[in-house]
Each structure stands twice: as structure tokens, then as C-alpha cells.
Amino acid sequence: MMLISRVFVPLLSLRRILPMLWHSSRRWTLLGAALMALEVAAGLAVLYLFKQLVDVVTGMLGSEAAAGGVGRVLGFVALTGGCTMAFLASRSMAGLAREAQGLLVADHIDREIHARAVHADLAFYESPRYFDTLQRAREAGNQRPVQVVSNLMMLARNSLMLAAIVVLMVTINWLMLPVLLLAIVPALLVRIHFTRHLYEWQRRRTQMERRAYYLDWLMTSDINAKELRLNQLGHFLRDQYSDLRGRIRHERMRITQRRTRIELAVASLATLAFFGALGFLAWRTAEGHNSVGDLVLFLLIFQRAQSMGQELVQQLAQLYEDHLFLGLLFEFLDIRPVIAEPEHPLAVPVTPREGIRFEGVGFHYPGTEAPVLSNIDLSIRPGQIVALVGANGSGKTSLIKLLCRLYDPTAGRITLDGVDIREYGLEEYRRLFSVIFQDYAHYATTVRENIRYGDIHQPVDTPAVESAAIKAGADPFIRMLKAGYDTPLTRMFDDGQELSIGQWQKIALARAFMHRSSVIILDEPTSALDPGAESELFENFRERIDHRAALIISHRLSTVRMADYIHVLDRGEIREAGTHEELMRRRGIYWDLFSRQAHHYREVRDQEPVTQCSSGGDSEGRGA
Ligand SMILES: Nc1ncnc2c1ncn2[C@@H]1O[C@H](COP(=O)(O)OP(=O)(O)OP(=O)(O)O)[C@@H](O)[C@H]1O
């Protein structure tokens, strides 16, 4: 009973793929169905005509009408040949229709996956459980739809054909029917059992596969090539990879070996059934109960039925597998973002008056209990430069994620001009910010595009790209590149060029300057910049950002001191807040951090006869 339901459940759940089929390839679906019907009809006609031919020929043997019957025989031969041609033509045309349908459905599903992927919550990408779903959906997404379409069509064709063959078989002798069932059904059940087994195993093994894939990437990617060689990690990683692949191979082989043994037993049973039936029918023909045409037809159709049955088993098993994989695809397609558009979104103010406020904000990541932020109260007023400082892991980047609504707070609220930000249109709200994260993107495209991605609404040749690059201090080195702003920043193509880490950071900064947002957020924007470039950037920072508001995270306190207001985060809580001078007077955490950095600078300066310190270093001495 369970096995039977396993056969039919997939058919029911495939109902979601059928509308996709219809919407994405209506014409090919209709054409494919018509060609398939023609293929079945022509195929059956060929079999029946063969039987008739044999009966006519054997009827003529030794009879006086033999001479006149030649024309009839040739007529049958011509008709059979014609039907065979029609069968072959419709079969190949149906194959073409299936392929076209499959490709269209695959593209349709890809579009759906991409639409979901770009709107999925950030949490989706930061959680391994969700990420597995995406990976499996990708596995299912690319080739599966082509297979599913092909399978469904073949399944329909073979079922029709098999039904017709069963009728023909019953006309020969009804006892042939149970024999046919014996040859087909056990194989079907065995196949379905193993498909399920294999699927469950594959699901368990996703993490293992991912780890193997990661190791493979570690060994072959250019990013790790330096460390890999210097730390001599090559052999170590290769061993780990081989071990993992060996375990995967071993488990897979165990399943395949068991399946081969059982399938062999089932095939032997089917062969026994065939020869038993053949012996029985030969005896009936010899006794004159059946014609030679019946015997020939039996040989033709039993073989055909068996191969059709095998194909049917294969297709049902495949369909079952498709259903399981498509289940994953639909599981992914059904994921709805938690950070969603409100039902009646408010318009974001064009020029915010009060700015942004965090009011008693608390946060922990989905699936974790530990609070990352607690009781956060802070504000960013229009035109104000606010800085966040704190040790690693104190929650600075998490706070930015909340501010940009990549996550929502688990306690308290964030407001813009006094209204909870969850009430604004999501995309419109996010356009208030231009952000450079610590792990900013390196796009494998031209310099111009890398910068323009900061505001994709601008035309391709906008002069804003160059002025953003000038503000970020990137323009001089860009002009030295082979094709200036049109140089591809990747080594993936022959004419591409790679940049230094600091140069990449300047490109990312330019991207942030590109967008005319209300608030600029810079998370460790100068970690890779040389001191000259850094002090240049912050010298006239306010003019550089056109007097917009800014939130800056930095471990370099020389950068932070020019902020209007500074918040010191410690283990998810704001411990101190004020201007640089206020915090220095307070002699708390900030003072301690600042004095230690300033002390280091002072030591260096004291050792040098001629001071070449930047203005930051000089003022740090005074401040401390
Ligand atoms: N996606 C995530 N899921 C669960 N915990 C996370 C996630 N991202 C960060 N955390 C945890 O949240 C805490 C704060 O991380 P966050 O990145 O905000 O710190 P940070 O102050 O920006 O640190 P750094 O100075 O090193 O950049 C850390 O303990 C980190 O382990």
C-alpha cells in the first residue's frame, strides 16, 4: 500500500509543474501532445500490420490463391513501411518538441529562482539550513525541468502504448496478461524503493558534498594560492578531500550493489515468465488454437511491452525522483521574506527632518538565543556624522544591518522622522543609504560599472562615476590603468587587470559616494588605505559627502575623532556616548582605547628626529 501511494503521490504533486509547462511553452505542449498521439497510433498500426502480413502469407502457403495474393502481400508491406515511416518521423519530431518545452520551462524556473534569490532575506544566506535549500533547489532547478517534461510526455506515451499492447495481448490469450504483469510490476516496485533510498541518502550527504566542494575550491582558487603554498596546505587538503570523496563513493557503491543484486533477481523472474509464456503459446499454435501471426505478434509485443514496461518503470522512478527534487525547488520558491513590504507602505520623506532614532533596540540572529545588541538608543540626525567604535564582535556591523532593514530588531524599534521604519516601503527606505561593508563586493566587470553599481539608475556614461572616484581618491590610479575607467577588474578575461586591496577599497568607497543617498554608511572604510590616503579622505570629509549624514565604523580612532558624536559599543550595549572631547574628559573605555593608540603614535614620533606624522597623529597626541 505504501509503495502504491509512493507511485501516485508524485503524480499528484507534479500538478505544480504542469501549469508551469503550459505557461512557458503552450505551443510546444500542444504540438508535442499531437505528435505523441500520432507516434502511438503509428507504432500500434505497425505491430498489427505485421501480424496481418504473417497471417496472409501463412494462409497463402500451399493455397491456390497464392499467385493472385502477391499484390495483397505487397500492399501490406507498403502500408507497414508507410506506418513505420510515420512512426519514426513523429517520434523524432516529438523529441524535438520535448526538448524545446524543457528548455523553456528550465528558463522559466531559473527566472523564478533568481527572483526569489534576490528578494530572500539576508538571514537566508547567513544560515546553513536555508542555504542547503537553495543549493538543492539549484541542483533540481537546472536540468530537472527538461527531464520532467520529457518524462511526463514519455510516460503518457508509454502508458498509452502499454494499454494498447495489453489489449492486443488479451486478444491472443488472456493468460498472457498475468505473465506480463509479473514481468513489469516487481521491477517497478524495486526501482521506486531504491529511488527513495538514494534520495534520502543524497539529502543527508548535502553538507558532506558542500565540504568536498569547498576543499576543491580551496585547492584550485587563485584567492588561496599564496597561503596554500607558503603554509604547505596542499597535501593536507588533498588528503581531506580524498577521504571525503572516498566516504561518499563507498556509501553510494553499497546502495548500487544492493540494487544490482535485487534487480538481477527480478529480471530473472521476468525472463522465466517470458519463456514459460512462449512455450505455452507455441504449444497452442501447434495445436491449432492460435495462428502463426498470433505467435509472431506475441514475440513482437511481449518484447515491446517488456521494454516499454522497463521504460515505464524507469520513467515512474525518475518521476518520483523528479518529484522529490522538485519538492525542494518548490520549498525554495515558497520561502517568503520575513523582511517584507508593509501592506500600506508610507512614502519615505524626501528630506528627513529629525533623522533616524534607535529606541531601546535589541537583536539576536534567527536560530540563536544570544543577544547581539541590547537597549540601543542612538540617533543620526540629518547632516550629522556619527561614529561607532568597539571591540571585534561588539555588534557594530549587526547594528548597520538593522539600520538598513536587512534584519528587523527583536526588541524596540528604529524610527525615521518618528515613524517606525517597518512602515515605509522597503526598497524606497533602503535607497536612503549607501553602504560600504567590510566584505564589500568585487564585481568582475569594468571600473566604471563597479562604481555605477552604487546607483544603477544612472546612465552608463554618467559623469557621476568619475566625480565619485575623485571623492574616493581613486581617480589617479584608475587613469593609469590600461583602459582607464573601461578596464575590466578581473583576471577572468585576457584584457582584465587586478587591483591591490587598497585600490579595491577605494573603488568600493567610490561606489558608496556614487549614490545621492541621505546617509552614507562606512564600515571600516579605510582598513586597507595608506595613512596618506586615509587622512586625505577625512580631511574635508563633510564636503566630500555633500554635508549628508554619515555613520562610520572604524578601529582607527584618528578617523573617529572628527565625528559629531561617538558611540562606544561593548558586548552589544552602548557603554559611552558623546563628542570626542567629552569622551576624553570622561576617561572611560574610549579614552583608554584612544590613549593606547596615541601612545603608540607618540612613541614612534618621539624616536624620529624629523616628524612626518599626518595631521591625525599630531592631533591624537594633543588629545591624549
Ligand atoms: N549571521 C549571523 N548569525 C549569527 N551570529 C552572528 C551573525 N553575524 C554576526 N554574528 C555574531 O554577532 C556578534 C556581533 O557581530 P558583528 O559582526 O556585528 O560585530 P562587529 O562589532 O562588527 O565586529 P568586527 O569589529 O569584528 O567587525 C558576533 O558575536 C558574531 O558572532
Is 420's pLDDT higher than 70?
yes
pLDDT at 597 over 80: no
Per-residue pLDDT band at 612 (split at 50, 70, 90): very low
Is the beta carbon of 395 within 6 A of some atom in ligand 1? yes
Choice from 369, 376, 398, 436 to test ligand 1 binding pocket (greatest atom count within 8 A of CB) = 398
Q: How confident is the model at residue 11 (pLDDT cuts 50, 70, 90)?
A: low
In short, whether 365's Cβ falls inside 6 Å of ligand 1 is yes
Across residues 454-462, what is the average pLDDT?
87
Nearest CA to ligand 1 atom 26: 392
pLDDT tens for each residue of 35-73: 988 988 898 888 888 888 888 888 777 666 656 677 778
- Per-residue pLDDT, 141: 56
Cα(544) to ligand 1 centroid in Å equals 30
**Of 20-29, 105-114, 439-448, which has the strongest mean pLDDT?**
439-448
Contact status, residue 333 vs residue 113, Cβ threshold 8 Å: yes
Ligand 1 mean position, distance from CA 41 (Å): 66
CA of 377 to the centre of ligand 1 (A): 19
Domain extents in the chain: 16-199+260-333
Instruction: Give the residue, by CA position, lying nearest to ligand 1 atom 18.
Output: 395
| Ligand 1 atom 30 nearest Cα | 393
As a three-state string, the secondary structure of 83-140 is HHHHHHHHHHHHHHHHHHHHHHHHHHHHHHHHHHHHHCCHHHHCCHHHHHHHHHHHHH
C-alpha torsion angle, residues 29, 34, 38, 41 (rounded to 10)? 100
Average pLDDT over residues 196-214: 81
CA angle 586, 590, 591 (to 5 degrees): 60
Q: What is the pLDDT of residues 362-386, one digit of tens each?
A: 999 988 889 999 999 999 999 999 9
3-state SS class at 221: coil
The one-letter amino acid code at 405 reads R
Residues 526-540 have a mean pLDDT of 77
Joined grid coordinates for residue 6 = 509512493
**How, if at all, do strands 373-380 and 356-363 pair?**
antiparallel
Q: Which three cell numbers stand for residue 508?
A: 568600493
Q: 392: Cβ below 6 Å to ligand 1?
A: yes
Ligand 1 atom at minimum distance from 399 CA: 18
The CATH class, in words, for 16-199+260-333 is mainly alpha
Distance set, CA 197 to CA 317, 323, 558 (Å): 12, 14, 61
Poorest-pLDDT segment among 138-142, 205-209, 342-346: 138-142
Q: Nearest 10 degrees: CA dihedral of 33, 36, 37, 38?
A: 130
Give me the helices (H) in 26-65, please.
26-60
Mean pLDDT (the chain) is: 82
Residue 318 predicted with pLDDT over 50: yes
- Over residues 570-596, the mean pLDDT reads 90
Lowest mean pLDDT segment, chosen from 273-282, 335-344, 437-446, 559-568: 335-344
Which residues, other chains included, contact 366 with Cβ-Cβ below 8 Å and sequence gap of 6+? 123, 127
| pLDDT band (50, 70, 90) for residue 569 | very high
The structure's pTM equals 0.70
pLDDT of 410 above 90? yes
Test site for ligand 1: of 364, 368, 388, 397, most ligand atoms within 8 A of the Cβ: 397
> Cα of 284 to ligand 1 centre, how many Å?
82
Q: How many CB atoms lie within 10 A of CB 441?
A: 13
Return the ligand 1 atom nearest residue 524 CA: 27
Q: Is the CB of 372 under 6 A from ligand 1?
A: yes
Cβ(374) – ligand 1 distance below 6 Å: no
Q: In this predicted model, which residue has the larger pLDDT, 588 or 618? A: 588
Beta-carbon count within 10 A of 340 CB: 12
**Residue nearest ligand 1's atom 28 by CA:** 393
Give the model's pLDDT for residue 211. Answer: 86
pLDDT at 613 over 50: no
Q: Whose CA is nearest to atom 27 of ligand 1?
A: 392
How would residue 623 be classed by pLDDT, with cut points 50, 70 and 90?
A: very low
CA of 483 to the centre of ligand 1 (A): 39
Give the HSE-up count for residue 236: Cα atoms under 13 Å, Cβ half-sphere: 6
Ligand 1 atom with minimal separation from the 398 CA: 18
Question: 66 near 60, Cβ under 8 Å?
Answer: yes
Residues 82-122 pLDDT 10s: 999 999 999 899 888 888 887 888 888 888 888 888 888 88
Query: Which of 364, 372, 440, 575 has most ligand 1 atoms within 8 Å of CB, for mutation?
Result: 372
Q: Which of 116-130, 237-251, 263-277 has the weakest average pLDDT?
A: 116-130
Other beta carbons within 10 Å of 303: 11
DSSP class per residue in 506-560: HHHHHHHHHS--SEEEEESTTTTS-HHHHHHHHHTHHHHTTT-EEEEE-S-HHHH
> Would the CB of 183 count as within 6 Å of ligand 1?
no
pLDDT on residue 128: 66
| 572 C-beta closer than 6 A to ligand 1 | no
How many Å apart are CA 78 and CA 86, to the nearest integer? 12
Q: Give 194's pLDDT tier (boundaries 50, 70, 90).
A: confident
Instruction: Report which of 380, 376, 356 is spatially closest to residue 364, judged by C-alpha positions.
Output: 376
- Does residue 467 register a pLDDT over 70? yes
Q: Could you give the CA distance from residue 16 to residue 18 in angstroms, rounded to a whole number?
A: 6
The residue whose CA has the least distance to atom 19 of ligand 1 is: 393
Residue bearing cell 573617529: 560
Q: Is the CB of 368 under 6 A from ligand 1?
A: yes
Span from the CA of 392 to the centroid of ligand 1 (angstroms): 8
